[in-house]
Structure 1
Amino acid sequence: MARYEISSVDCGALGAVATGTVLFQLGLMYAVGRSVPTDRVAAHKWFNLAAREGVAEAARLRKELALEMTSDEVAEAQRAARAWLAQG
Structure 2
Amino acid sequence: MAFDMSTAAPMVMASDVEPGDAGLDLFALGLSHATGVGAEIDYVEAHKWFNIAAMRGDEEAKLRRQELTAMMTQTQVSAAQRAAREWLQRSAN
* Both proteins in one fold, TM over 0.5: yes
Stretches of 4+ moved more than 4 A in 1? none
Using the TM superposition, give the Cα deviation of residue 3 of structure 1 relative to its aligned residue in structure 2, in angstroms. 3.6
Provide the residue aligned with 2:45 in structure 1.
42
Aligned ranges 1:49-60 → 2 under 5 Å: 49-60=52-63
Q: Write the letter of the residue equivalent to 2:35.
A: V
Change (3 A) 1:5 1:68: same
Change (3 A) 1:5 1:72: same
Change (3 A) 1:60 1:4: closer
The question of 1:62 aligning with 2:62 is answered: no
Q: Percent identity?
A: 46
**1, 5, 17: which one aligns with 2:15:** 5
Aligned ranges 1:6-21 → 2 under 5 Å: 6-7=16-17, 9=18, 11-12=19-20, 14=21, 16-18=22-24
- Alignment RMSD (CA, Å): 1.7
Provide the residue aligned with 1:82 in structure 2.
85
Structure 1 residue runs of 5 or longer lacking an equivalent are none
| TM-score, scaled relative to structure 1 | 0.84
